[in-house]
Amino acid sequence: MSLERAIMAFAGMMILLSLALTLWVNHNFVWLTVFVGANLTQSAYTGFCPAAMVLKKLGFKTEAQLATES
């Protein structure tokens, strides 16, 4: 899985988790959804994504890196 796809999967899972926590635990978990959405928006404009830095350290490679390996 490429880094870009892993980031999308992670963001999607975080949104679904926060919505479930909002529904079943406490309504204040909706702020986690807001945080994830704001982080996705700022990373689209700035290119800075903290999750990408963590996933790179875990060994995920970008699509460009995977294309050059083949």
pLDDT digits (tens, 9 = 90+) for 14-62: 999 999 999 999 999 999 999 999 999 999 999 999 999 999 999 999 9
- Kindly give, in sequence order, each residue whose CB lies less than 8 Å from that of residue 13, ignoring residues fewer than 6 positions away: none
Length reported for the chain = 70
What is the longest distance spanned by two Cα atoms in the chain? 47
Whole-number pLDDT of residue 37: 94
Q: What is the DSSP string of 3-43?
A: HHHHHHHHHHHHHHHHHHHHHHT-GGGHHHHHHHHHHHHHH
